[in-house]
Amino acid sequence: MNIAMDKLALDKLAEEIVDHRFKGLPPDATGATVGELATQRRDLYSGGFITPVLTLSAEAVDHNLRSLERFASRHGLALAPHGKTSMAPQLFHRQLECGAWGITLAVPHQVRVARAFGVRRVFLANELVDAAALAWLAGEQDADPDFRCVCYVDSTRGVELMDAALRAADAARPVEVVVEYGVPGGRTGVRDEAEAAAVADAVARVGTLRLVGVAGYEGELRNADAAAVRAWLDGLMGLAVAFDAAGRFAELDEVVVSAGGSTWFDVVAEAFEALPDLSRPSLRLLRSGAYISHDDGRYRDVTPFNRIPREGSLLPAFRLWTQVVSQPEPGRALVNAGKRDIAYDLGLPEVQAVREPGGQVRGAAGLRVDWLADQHACLVADAEPSPANGAVRGAMPRVGDWVALGMSHPCTIFEKWPLIPLVAGDGTVVDYIRTFF
């Protein structure tokens, strides 16, 4: 099946008019289209961009796409990256070009965005019991025989609601479902094999749903180590084996077995390689999402490539450029970006570089963000700058200097910026990435 997206819909993104809706873009570009602005290849620092402005490294994105695709291919995994991370159809397209099986999403709105841009394979990693959303999904499936959507089920009540909504919508094609295997005290998903069997039996009794496998998310294990993740994966795979032995997959071409966020994909790969042969071929589906941009915090610390550097690496792609607007006291500088611009749910940003008005760029060792307000971040020096702590004299930025911040949590970073300059290593803005949150 051709998994290419709708090129016309993607091209239309370049026709959007640049105006006040988009933070950080040059005011003198107002009225131009995004495509026209991209062809100008403006310099980030001298091309009229105003702070704060979030940037995405073109080289880092390319590196990350290829790194995880190589990992998945090496381990016999299909990749359905979680699109809720970026909600950027241009990046969905890049992921599919790099060999992704499809795109994972979490809620109906996100699926509608993906469909608007022609995504043909969606893994909906959530329960779907909303009648209006199910009617829409039925219409999408019936209108496009190449569209495939697989979603979670975890209760007989949910199966009943799905069946009623799909029958009311006169759905011609059944919706494919996987029984979600959960974690005690966690989010959604069945808690044991008996509950899973009851849900599977409920699916078998209706004609509007089709059971195609099992899935779950190991990230719901709290304070887990590799052994705990392996034990949970053993339970997930045991469920697949039990279902297969009971003949639940007899009519399928392939069985979907899916897990894998951005923290334990190495353990998932190891476990899935040990999945026993089933009566039908298995689609071993990895759903990592944060890898595409990586970050300067949580995911930098927990990426499996820290444990297996021989297998690959990821590069942080985001940099938020801010400007010092006030120095009310010695040793304290206020920049013009705050909670409205900065992801802070997984920690305060890091100070990474200082760019002076003349273009000189220096490191920022010894500087940190002390606190955030709505539109300000306060920078302080941890210690008197000296060669001993890696800083240099004069490291405190001055009013007018640009300051680069690195942030944690890709999902929240993307969410705050509807149009993000994609910047080459020499500072040239080569494209603009549109998000739809």
Overall fold of domain 120-288 = TIM Barrel (3.20.20)
Q: What does the domain layout of the chain look like in residue ranges?
A: 1-58+299-437, 120-288
> What are the E-state strand segments in 53-111?
53-57, 78-79, 103-105
Record the tokens describing residue 137, joined without a space.
């999904």
DSSP state of 301: H
Residues 6+ apart with CB under 8 A from 123: 80, 102, 103, 104, 105, 149, 150, 151, 215, 258, 285, 287
* Distance between CA atoms of residues 236 and 230, nearest Å: 10
Q: What pLDDT does residue 152 have?
A: 98
pLDDT tens for the chain, 437 residues long, are 446 799 999 999 999 999 999 999 999 999 999 999 999 999 999 999 999 999 999 999 999 999 999 999 999 999 999 999 999 999 999 999 999 999 999 999 999 999 999 999 999 999 999 999 999 999 999 999 999 999 999 999 999 999 999 999 999 999 999 999 999 999 999 999 999 999 999 999 999 999 999 999 999 998 899 999 999 999 999 999 999 999 999 999 999 999 999 999 999 999 999 999 999 999 999 999 999 999 999 999 999 999 999 999 999 999 999 999 999 999 999 999 999 999 999 999 999 999 999 999 999 999 999 999 999 999 999 865 555 445 454 479 999 999 999 999 999 999 999 999 999 999 999 999 999 99
DSSP state of 403: E
* Distance between CA atoms of residues 58 and 366, nearest Å: 28
Q: What pLDDT does residue 4 have?
A: 78
Report if pTM > 0.85. yes
How many angstroms separate the Cα of 332 from the Cα of each of 87, 364, 366, 376, 400?
36, 14, 12, 12, 14
Q: What pLDDT does residue 389 have?
A: 45
- DSSP letters spanning 328-380: EETTEEEES--TTTS--TT-PPEEEEEE-TTS-EEE-TTEEEEEE-SS-EEEE
Q: What pLDDT does residue 21 have?
A: 96
Would you call 431 exposed, middle or buried from its count of C-beta atoms within 10 A (0-12, 13-18, 19+)?
A: buried
φ, ψ of residue 18 in degrees (nearest 5): -75, 125
Assign 153 to helix, strand or coil: strand
Specify the CATH class of 1-58+299-437 in words: mainly beta
Strand partners, 55: 319
Q: What pLDDT does residue 375 have?
A: 97
How many angstroms separate the Cα of 44 from the Cα of each of 48, 51, 109, 154, 435?
8, 11, 33, 48, 20
Neighbours of 247 (CB within 10 A): 9
Closest CA to 435 of 2, 1, 13, 5: 13
* Distance between CA atoms of residues 175 and 121, nearest Å: 13
How many angstroms separate the Cα of 207 from the Cα of each of 124, 162, 166, 171, 210?
20, 11, 10, 10, 7
CB-based contact 434:414 (threshold 8 Å): no
Q: Are strands 318-329 and 402-406 parallel, antiparallel or unpaired?
A: antiparallel
Closest CA to 38 of 430, 309, 434, 433: 430
